């Protein structure tokens, strides 16, 4: 197994951090290693939430736990001024870690199907949480530089797309002050560590999960003429779905329809009664999203009808999240502040991707939002991969290991600089 070297912060990067922030790493590194080594699945993040709650209480925040099942809300009031929310995610992925790190996860959890699965922070939520704690520490320790109310939100179940909705349904914006702005970071596997990516407008796609159950008439594999084969129907559906993007969608409108799972049958010579497919659907426009979902049901029903299936397929859409759209004015303000704080060379134009985030739910609830990319890849390794045209492990890979120290400390700096920009100024 390969081991990932931890690269010390350069003197240039240290100089750009908030005053006193360089002293944070000795306290943040153990937290990062602990979070990485002990990940928890969506809506099961009890130990993770407790660790963050304890940190916030120690900084003087008023803390509420169990919001949206396992979420954390910390509030620090510091005079009159805007209310600003910093959000981090708590959950990890059902994935076996293969990084070879000395603090690699060996944790397991129970998935919704009741199965025991390995668990890993393969999307960087441990990075986000650690930077979030660093930002809270910095802002709580320097209350003379800002005025207003700081709300720290530790959100469960981002990977399932349900955590933000659960917190909102549990009164996040009614039991607690509704923020004027919401900020977040996400590590990025194509930007070098030490850089930040920011842009106004759409940054992440909408995402919908679609489950299709195709019904047939089972029988002996040697006598297919006596059956209605749902495996063949499912195969034709998979192929037909590709037309929704390649032939029905405007090429200038991003769209993705991916069949990630297909299950049916138990033995070589048995034609089953049904086959199940699982899809993920991504888009950047509401009308594209709606058209794709309508098209999926149309294709599935048409193929079943053409095969004389005993009944139409079941098509169930779930786990939907809207497009993540950064507020234009907020992005402009924070972008200028970041360029002043970090220097122009370290602030990049963020490139939209077709991944999705339920951070978008807070915008849907009427709060201007801004998500920033934080580069997570060692710059030398990134340059080598570009030169050699090799592929580095990315998010959701069992081998993904960010360049922890510069990534986290840049995340601290980005959150602090953005917060100070939109909070009230000291009098």
pLDDT confidence of residue 19: 45
pLDDT confidence of residue 337: 97
Query: Are the CB atoms for 87 and 18 separated by under 8 Å?
Result: no
Pairing state between β 71-78 and 62-67: antiparallel
| Chain centroid offset of residue 242 CA | 26
In whole angstroms, give the CA distance from residue 152 to residue 248. Answer: 43
pLDDT at residue 3 above 90?
no
In whole angstroms, give the CA distance from residue 369 to residue 351. Answer: 17
One of 1.10.10.10, 3.40.50.1000, 3.40.630.10, 2.60.120.10 is the CATH number of 11-205+323-425, namely 3.40.630.10
pLDDT confidence of residue 53: 98
Query: Are the CB atoms for 401 and 4 separated by under 8 Å?
Result: yes
Radius of gyration of the chain from its Cα atoms, rounded to whole angstroms: 23
pLDDT confidence of residue 425: 87
Query: Are the CB atoms for 98 and 398 separated by under 8 Å?
Result: yes
Domain ranges of the chain: 11-205+323-425, 206-321
Give the global pTM.
0.90
**Cα–Cα nearest to 189, from 417, 426, 399, 419:** 399
pLDDT confidence of residue 127: 98
Query: Are the CB atoms for 238 and 251 separated by under 8 Å?
Result: no
404 falls in which pLDDT band (50, 70, 90)?
very high
pLDDT confidence of residue 5: 32
Pairing state between β 196-198 and 206-215: unpaired
Second CATH level (architecture) for the domain 206-321: 2-Layer Sandwich (3.30)
| Mean pLDDT of the chain, nearest integer | 94
State the virtual CA torsion across 383, 33, 166, 318 in degrees, nearest 10: 50
Residue 220, beta-bridge partner list: 270
State the virtual CA torsion across 425, 168, 35, 5 in degrees, nearest 10: -70
In whole angstroms, give the CA distance from residue 345 to residue 196. Answer: 10
99-131 pLDDT tens trace: 999 999 999 999 999 999 999 999 999 999 999
pLDDT at residue 183 above 80?
yes
Helix or strand (DSSP H, E) at 286: helix 286-306
Query: Are the CB atoms for 420 and 84 separated by under 8 Å?
Result: no
pLDDT confidence of residue 16: 43
275 falls in which pLDDT band (50, 70, 90)?
very high
224-262 pLDDT tens trace: 999 999 999 999 999 999 999 999 999 999 999 999 999
In whole angstroms, give the CA distance from residue 329 to residue 201. Answer: 10
pLDDT at residue 351 above 50?
yes
4 falls in which pLDDT band (50, 70, 90)?
very low
Q: Which is more confident, 17 or 94?
A: 94
Grouping H, G, I as helix, E, B as strand and the rest as coil, residue 415 is helix
pLDDT confidence of residue 2: 30
Query: Are the CB atoms for 406 and 195 separated by under 8 Å?
Result: no
């Amino acid at each position: 197994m390969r081991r990932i070297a931890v690269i010390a912060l350069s003197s240039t990067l240290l100089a750009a951090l908030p005053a006193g922030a360089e002293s944070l790493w000795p306290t943040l590194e153990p937290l990062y290693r602990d979070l990485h080594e002990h990940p928890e699945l969506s809506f099961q993040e009890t130990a993770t939430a407790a660790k963050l709650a304890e940190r916030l209480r120690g900084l003087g925040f008023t803390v509420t736990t169990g919001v949206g099942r396992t979420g954390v809300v910390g509030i620090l009031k510091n005079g009159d001024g805007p209310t600003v929310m910093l959000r981090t995610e708590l959950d990890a992925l059902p994935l076996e870690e293969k990084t070879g790190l000395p603090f690699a996860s060996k944790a397991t959890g129970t998935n919704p199907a009741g199965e025991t699965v390995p668990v890993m922070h393969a999307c960087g939520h441990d990075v986000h949480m650690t930077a979030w704690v660093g930002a809270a520490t910095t802002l709580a320790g320097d209350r003379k530089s800002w005025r207003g109310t700081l709300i720290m939100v530790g959100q469960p179940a981002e990977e399932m797309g349900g955590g933000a909705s659960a917190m909102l349904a549990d009164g996040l914006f009614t039991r607690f002050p509704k923020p004027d702005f919401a900020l977040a970071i996400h590590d990025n596997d194509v930007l070098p560590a030490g850089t930040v990516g920011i842009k106004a407008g759409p940054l992440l796609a909408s995402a919908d999960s679609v489950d299709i159950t195709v019904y047939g008439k089972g029988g002996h594999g040697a006598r297919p003429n006596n059956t209605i084969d749902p495996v063949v129907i499912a195969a034709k559906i998979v192929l037909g779905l590709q037309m929704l993007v390649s032939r029905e969608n405007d090429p200038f409108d991003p769209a993705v329809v991916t069949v990630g799972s297909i299950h049916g049958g138990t033995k070589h010579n048995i034609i089953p009664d049904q086959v199940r497919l699982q899809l993920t659907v991504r888009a950047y426009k509401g009308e594209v999203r709606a058209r794709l979902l309508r098209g999926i049901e149309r294709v599935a029903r048409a193929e079943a009808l053409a095969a004389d299936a005993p009944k139409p397929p079941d098509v169930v859409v779930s786990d939907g999240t809207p497009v993540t759209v950064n507020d234009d004015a907020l992005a402009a303000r924070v972008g200028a502040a970041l360029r002043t704080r970090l220097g122009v060379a370290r602030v990049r134009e963020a490139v939209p991707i077709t991944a999705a985030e339920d951070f978008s739910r807070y915008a849907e609830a009427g709060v201007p939002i801004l998500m920033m990319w934080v580069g997570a890849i060692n710059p030398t390794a990134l340059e080598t991969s570009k030169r050699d045209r090799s592929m580095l492990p990315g998010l959701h890979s069992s081998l993904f290991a960010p360049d922890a120290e510069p990534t986290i400390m840049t995340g601290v700096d980005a959150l602090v600089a953005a917060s100070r920009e939109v909070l009230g100024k000291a009098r």
